[in-house]
Structure 1
Amino acid sequence: MLDTISPDVLLRQAIGALLLPPLNGLLLLLLAYWLRRYRPLGARVLTGAAVLLLYLQSTPWLAMQLNGALEQFSVPALAEVRRSGAIVVLGAGKRPAPEYAANVPGADSFGRLRYAVYLSRASGVPLLLSGGSPVGGEAEALVMARALQQDYGITPRWLEGASDTTGDNARLSAALLRQAGISRITLVTQAWHMARALPLFREQGLQVLPAPTGFTRYDGVPAQQWLPSGRAMQEVHQAQREWLGRCYFQLRNMVGAGK
């Protein structure tokens, strides 16, 4: 797979692994261990900070704080969706499934597909699936299309399977839609991802109705928000990655504007 993965994607994954949980906290612990002989007080402070960081990054409280700041859009009314010419669904990964002897959409992709099916059936608006193969192998759009047909008996009208990034999703999907004379779409992606995806599609000259899904929510009493869990750490990881991505693109745009 390494011979087909995008070098840019591989580099971003490597940098993200260093800056995101759990490795960011573990690296602080390693630094504290190295400092213990030279700066014992500093090493103890750094150890405490690392343990606190790892704990907070595994709590539902922090997951909801970080993702809540990203989830800026509410769900659309069906009457608005009906005015669209297409419902565009962005891919969110795939995974090998030995039980099916094939790749299947990842959990986020499945969630997006399910919501898109609900909107399409309620509105009659056709689907466009967008997702390439940034980590190599089969394009995400093809994997989603197969699941869509097998699970829901629906065939998407358009497939875009060459994109590696959200910007590619927007550019290549817009090209397909222009050929069909469509300029108004409903965009389905994760609630935390919508604020970044929406302007990229609008930059392509499309009128975009946001249709977010996968909101970060927890049941139970408030005290449970401070109990660590693997799910919470995953959601913190995803939110921090999104915030880092925003910072990266802002810096890149600033550097580009200064040239």
Structure 2
Amino acid sequence: MFELKKILGAMLMPLPFLGMLCFIALIIALRTNKFSAYIGIIAISCLLLISTPFIGQKIIDPATQLKYTFPSSKQPILDKIVVLGCDVNPNPQLNANSQLGNCAKSRLIEGLRLANIYPNAQLVVSGGGYGKVTNSSLMQQTAISLGIAAARIKQNPAAMDTADEAKLLAPTLVDFKVALVTSASHMARATDLFNAQGVDVIPAATDFYDFSAWPSHKQYIPNVEVLKAVTSYWHEVLGSTWISMRRWIDPEAL
């Protein structure tokens, strides 16, 4: 009874419920416009499939991301901790930490964890934003409120993407021991861009996705968290493709 309740509850969530309604509507539409209906059926079927933990897990392959965890036991010294920017939701009525999206919070938490392990390391918070509200300023305010001295923190508010972050920060990072904090799915591309600027970084990934431990009755039901993970993966595929194209046109571009 418990599992039945959970299955029904999961199926009534917006993604699986509306997805199945679209699928049924397209089946009915086969009577009038077969080509359009077939295209729609294929599209909605793919959307629902990649949103299931069973399929999503195979796409994101979380096991390969474990190599990006930070090996603190093997790093006695660290000079700088670079936390890359992510999502922000500006709202002057909220505290700084409440204006950071979940991705940004996850990255900042890992940065603060390392800052406590390495008290002499400088914390570099990066990322632009909207108008005067930047990812880096919100991260700095949050870090200070959680006990990090303002003198230890450096902002990089002008960067609007990872390529900008690498270019703008590179002059201050060369020849230092640098931990790079970003989402696990983003780490390969971020490391590549920093290496291209002559900066050797030590990956310190966070924001992992792994659905292998989810119960069996959830493995085949579309879930928005899985779709989010697959979307992040696809974002990195597109980003890496764009970098390859830019470098093919101009080897010095990125």
Q: One fold, TM greater than 0.5?
A: yes
2:220 equivalent to 1:226: yes
1:83 to 77, 91, 109: 77
Please say if residues 105 and 147 of structure 1, whose CA atoms lie closer than 8 Å, have aligned partners that are also in contact.
no
2:86 equivalent to 1:116: no
Aligned to 1:46: 39
- String of CA shifts for 1:132-173, please: whole Å, max 9, x gaps: 23x544221111101111134443432111111101111111
Aligned to 1:168: 164
Closer, same or farther in 2 for the Cα pair 1:222/1:244, shift >3 Å?
A: farther
Provide the secondary structure at the position in 2 that maps to 1:234.
helix
2:153 equivalent to 1:157: yes
The structural deviation recorded for 1:97 is: 4.1
Please say if residues 68 and 187 of structure 2, whose CA atoms lie closer than 8 Å, have aligned partners that are also in contact.
no
The structural deviation recorded for 1:113 is: 0.8
**Once the two structures are aligned, what percentage of the paired residues are identical?**
26
The structural deviation recorded for 1:71 is: 2.6
Q: Output the CA distance in 1 between the equivalents of 2:163 and 2:228.
A: 24
Please say if residues 63 and 239 of structure 1, whose CA atoms lie closer than 8 Å, have aligned partners that are also in contact.
no
Aligned to 1:71: 65
The code of the aligned residue for 1:126 comes to Q
Closer, same or farther in 2 for the Cα pair 1:52/1:68, shift >3 Å?
A: same
Q: Output the CA distance in 1 between the equivalents of 2:173 and 2:242.
A: 29
Give me the CA root mean square deviation.
2.9
Q: Output the CA distance in 1 between the equivalents of 2:52 and 2:231.
A: 11
Q: Output the CA distance in 1 between the equivalents of 2:153 and 2:143.
A: 12
- String of CA shifts for 1:100-146, please: whole Å, max 9, x gaps: 2667221111101111111121122221111123x544221111101
Q: Output the CA distance in 1 between the equivalents of 2:173 and 2:153.
A: 11
Provide the secondary structure at the position in 2 that maps to 1:50.
helix
The structural deviation recorded for 1:41 is: 3.3
The structural deviation recorded for 1:223 is: 4.4
Q: Output the CA distance in 2 between the equivalents of 1:203 and 1:106.
A: 28
2:217 equivalent to 1:217: no
2:241 to 216, 237, 247: 247
Aligned to 2:48: 55
Provide the secondary structure at the position in 2 that maps to 1:158.
strand
With the length of structure 1 as denominator, give the TM-score of the two structures: 0.75
Report runs of 4+ in structure 1 exceeding 4 Å deviation: none
The code of the aligned residue for 2:110 comes to Y
Closer, same or farther in 2 for the Cα pair 1:157/1:151, shift >3 Å?
A: closer
With the length of structure 2 as denominator, give the TM-score of the two structures: 0.76
Please say if residues 186 and 210 of structure 1, whose CA atoms lie closer than 8 Å, have aligned partners that are also in contact.
yes
Aligned length: 224
Please say if residues 53 and 219 of structure 2, whose CA atoms lie closer than 8 Å, have aligned partners that are also in contact.
yes
